[in-house]
């Protein structure tokens, strides 16, 4: 008898120990949640019903997007409607500690008829509102936004395929061509006379960025709660580098339901090699929106003032002017309903080009652009449309057409954007999911780059550069719990023209480049001892033939995270970028040297609202990076803080 008692006691301790271990492993796990209302009015054809409740099981990504969905309640006449509606719902992903993870979520959608009594409606709505605005939901929403902002900041160099150097909130990219366009709030941006990375810099800290099919899009973050969300980033460093970033977001401003406002301010300065002046700039970003039965109304204002080195200008100016004083004001107003949206944008810029040796204004560029936009973005079943047309008054007409659809395991997508007749892109992609992990695909991209014109040491010798790029081939997507990877390979054709215009005639130095290419992106998650790891890779390889060396652009980010419990984390990492000599630059004798850089950082997160960062730049002591003068190794220090009020 005592023997059996001992066995029972022993088994009880084993079960208790296992339960404790399991609880320790999962105590920081927070399940996914549906945000917003889950109560809707029944369509008119079903008004004879009083209340219909549909239960859905969905698989969510670590960004809160639905991968798969399944209706698990009894069949109802609303099942088709529910499948379409789920594409419009917003979810907060599950979290393991501070890390968002994929998960499954079961939720209910409730539909009531107009005959459903007001008391019953209020009871249902009150229950739903209590769930949605609970402290847990509020915290999850706030910290998801904070994580999104910090994640976008930490991975800035990976948002687009070209090499992007980052120091504080200064960004620099490839010196000759940037093979993508920028779209903000639906408007395609013709950024001339500024380089793309200046527009990248003035929008990236304030708005959500997404890259797809040669298009870098910025859209406003929407914050759903009346609690004021304020975050700051203050930094100082060597070579006079310093910055101050403040972002404030609030819904239900002045207690007006659905009146949302966000405000951002960024001030930065720093000195640059071979320039005696200090690089300084200020950016002010204001966005407001209001929703009612008549639709959604939006207003946006951006103010940029800077004294910058000429590398922030387009190449046709950067080659001749090494300093610029820039003023830019942008105003956007828009209205949208369930059928379409209408928007208007006014962009005014004034830029003084300066040669520092003469310290006088050599050229002034001043222009006002007024642009109208009409379009619609909608989805039904497994299909997404994004269509818009814009027209600059007394100027250019362009637009966007994006179409994606899924049929069972097959998918197909088309992306077309046109800024003008010289700058446009078309691409399509078609894939088939063999299972949850593998998706082979076919893809083709075509891109026209707007010509660059400049004078070469003499007003009598004008040079014009243009490029048309085509990439076609096949690839494969792979995804599991540890690795997400994509490789695309095929044939790369670039028709690049260089013409020199003299008074007596034109010399045409055009050339057609043909390469085999491979592009890849990979994100690998791993664990070593106490550290969670993340290794991000992306790059492009071009090979003319087996007898020549390939051109390679490659960037990698290796990150280690030590979870110190109670939302405290110690993070360290390195970012390495390598840019082989660009074939366009070799042919036209513009740039001769390969480029590579190594940066590192260490950060300490204290609770979910405070982070201290120490960053080291140019650890390899390169004099030039991306053909631009660079300071030798130096460090920057910054503090980020989230306030809730």
User: Given 3-state DSSP classes, what are the helix, strand and coil percentages for the chain, each rounded to the nearest 5?
Assistant: 15, 55, 30
Contact between residue 91 and residue 28 where contact means Cβ atoms under 8 Å apart: no
Element (H, E) at 125: helix 118-132
Place 46 in a pLDDT band, splitting at 50, 70 and 90. Answer: low
Topology of the domain comprising 140-644: Maltoporin; Chain A (2.40.170)
How far is it, in rounded angstroms, from Cα 341 to Cα 503?
49
Q: Is 119 left (phi over 0), alpha (psi -120 to 50) or beta?
A: alpha
Residue ranges with strand state E in 214-258: 215-219, 229-237, 242-250
Q: Which residue has the higher pLDDT, 476 or 22?
A: 476
With tokens 């028709």, the residue in question is: 495
**What is the tens place of the pLDDT at every residue in 237-262?**
888 889 999 999 998 899 898 999 99
CA 474 to chain centre: 25
Sign of CA dihedral 422, 387, 90, 342: positive
Q: Which residue has the higher pLDDT, 109 or 335?
A: 335
Helical ranges in 509-610 per DSSP H: 583-587
Tokens of 320: 């001749």
Contact between residue 295 and residue 282 where contact means Cβ atoms under 8 Å apart: no
Average pLDDT over residues 266-288: 82
Place 186 in a pLDDT band, splitting at 50, 70 and 90. Answer: very high
Q: Of 185-189, 311-315, 560-564, 571-575, which gets the smallest average pLDDT?
A: 311-315
Smallest CA-to-CA distance from 469 within 485, 454, 449 is with 449
**What is the tens place of the pLDDT at every residue in 500-536?**
766 676 777 777 888 999 999 999 999 998 899 999 9
Average pLDDT over residues 413-440: 90
Contact between residue 173 and residue 162 where contact means Cβ atoms under 8 Å apart: yes
Sign of CA dihedral 189, 193, 196, 199: negative
The pLDDT assigned to 127 comes to: 45
Q: Is 216 left (phi over 0), alpha (psi -120 to 50) or beta?
A: beta
- DSSP secondary structure code for residue 25 in this structure: H
Q: Which residue has the higher pLDDT, 114 or 473?
A: 473
The pLDDT assigned to 340 comes to: 92
Percent of the chain scoring above 70 in pLDDT: 79
Place 485 in a pLDDT band, splitting at 50, 70 and 90. Answer: very high
Tokens of 170: 């200064």
Average pLDDT over residues 291-297: 92
CA distances to 17, 19, 140, 385, 393 from 24, rounded to whole Å, are 10, 9, 21, 45, 63
Place 583 in a pLDDT band, splitting at 50, 70 and 90. Answer: low
Element (H, E) at 323: strand 323-336
Q: Residue 21 pLDDT > 50, yes or no?
A: no
**What is the tens place of the pLDDT at every residue in 388-402?**
999 998 788 899 999
Pairing of the two strands 29-30 and 634-644: unpaired
How far is it, in rounded angstroms, from Cα 539 to Cα 552?
7
Q: Residue 24 pLDDT > 50, yes or no?
A: no
Tokens of 341: 């949206």
Q: Of 312-321, 357-366, 380-389, which gets the smallest average pLDDT?
A: 312-321
With tokens 């080195």, the residue in question is: 309
Topology of the domain comprising 31-132: TolA/TonB C-terminal domain (3.30.2420)
- SS3 for 254? helix
Rg of the chain over Cα atoms, rounded to whole angstroms, equals 27
Q: Which residue has the higher pLDDT, 210 or 79?
A: 210
Q: Residue 267 pLDDT > 90, yes or no?
A: yes
């Amino acid at each position: 008898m005592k023997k059996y008692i001992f066995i029972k006691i022993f088994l009880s301790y084993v079960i208790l120990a296992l339960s404790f271990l399991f609880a320790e492993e999962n105590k920081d796990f927070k399940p996914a949640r549906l945000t917003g209302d889950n109560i809707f009015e029944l369509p008119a054809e079903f008004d004879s019903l009083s209340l219909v409740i549909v239960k859905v099981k969905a698989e969510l990504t670590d960004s809160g997007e639905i991968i798969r969905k399944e209706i698990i309640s009894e069949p109802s006449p609303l099942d088709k409607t529910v499948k379409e509606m789920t594409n419009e719902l917003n979810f907060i992903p599950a979290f393991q500690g501070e890390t968002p993870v994929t998960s499954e979520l079961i939720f209910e959608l409730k539909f009531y008829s107009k005959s459903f009594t007001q008391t019953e409606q209020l009871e249902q709505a009150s229950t739903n509102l209590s769930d949605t605005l609970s402290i847990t939901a509020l915290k999850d929403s706030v910290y998801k936004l904070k994580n999104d902002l910090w994640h976008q900041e930490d991975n800035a160099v990976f948002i687009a395929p070209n090499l992007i150097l980052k120091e504080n909130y200064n960004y620099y990219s490839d010196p000759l061509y940037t093979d993508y366009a920028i779209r903000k709030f639906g408007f395609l941006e013709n950024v001339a006379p500024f380089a793309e990375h200046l527009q990248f810099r003035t929008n990236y800290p304030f708005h959500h960025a997404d890259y797809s099919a040669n298009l870098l899009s910025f859209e406003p973050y929407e914050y759903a709660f009346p609690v004021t969300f304020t975050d700051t980033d203050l930094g100082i460093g060597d070579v006079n580098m310093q910055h101050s970033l403040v972002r404030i977001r609030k819904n239900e401003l002045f207690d007006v339901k659905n009146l949302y406002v966000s405000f951002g301010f960024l001030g930065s300065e720093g000195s640059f090699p071979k320039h005696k002046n200090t690089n300084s700039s200020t950016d002010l970003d204001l966005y407001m929106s209001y929703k009612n039965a008549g639709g959604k109304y939006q207003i946006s204002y951006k103010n940029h003032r800077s004294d910058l080195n000429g590398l922030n200008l387009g190449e046709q100016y950067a080659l001749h002017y090494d300093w610029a004083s820039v003023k830019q004001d942008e105003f956007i107003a828009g209205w949208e309903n369930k059928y379409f949206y209408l928007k208007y944008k006014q962009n005014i810029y004034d830029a003084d080009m300066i040669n520092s040796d003469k310290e006088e204004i050599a050229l002034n560029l001043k222009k006002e652009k007024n642009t109208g936009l009409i379009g619609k973005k909608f989805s039904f079943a497994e299909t997404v449309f994004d269509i818009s047309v814009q027209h600059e008054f007394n100027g250019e007409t362009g637009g966007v057409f994006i179409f994606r659809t899924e049929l069972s395991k097959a998918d197909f997508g088309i992306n077309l954007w046109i800024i003008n007749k010289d700058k446009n892109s078309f691409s399509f992609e078609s894939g088939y999911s063999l299972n949850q992990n593998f998706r082979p695909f076919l893809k083709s991209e075509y891109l026209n780059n707007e010509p660059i014109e400049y004078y070469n040491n003499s007003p009598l010798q004008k040079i014009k550069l243009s490029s048309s790029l085509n990439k076609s081939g096949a690839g494969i997507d792979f995804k599991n719990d540890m690795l997400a990877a994509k490789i695309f390979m095929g044939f790369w054709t670039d028709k690049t023209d260089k013409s020199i215009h003299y008074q007596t005639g034109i010399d045409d130095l055009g050339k057609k480049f043909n390469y085999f290419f491979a592009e890849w992106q990979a994100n690998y998650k791993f664990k070593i001892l106490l550290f969670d790891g993340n290794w991000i890779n992306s790059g492009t390889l071009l090979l003319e033939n087996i007898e020549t060396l390939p051109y390679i652009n490659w960037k990698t980010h290796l990150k280690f995270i030590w979870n110190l419990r109670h939302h405290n984390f110690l993070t360290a990492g390195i970012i390495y970028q390598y840019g082989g000599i660009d074939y366009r630059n070799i042919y036209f004798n513009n740039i001769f040297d390969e480029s590579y850089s190594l940066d590192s950082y260490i950060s300490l997160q204290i609770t979910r609202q405070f982070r201290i960062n120490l960053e080291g730049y140019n650890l390899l002591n390169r004099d030039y990076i991306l053909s631009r003068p660079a300071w030798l190794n130096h460090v920057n220090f910054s503090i980020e803080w989230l306030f809730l009020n």
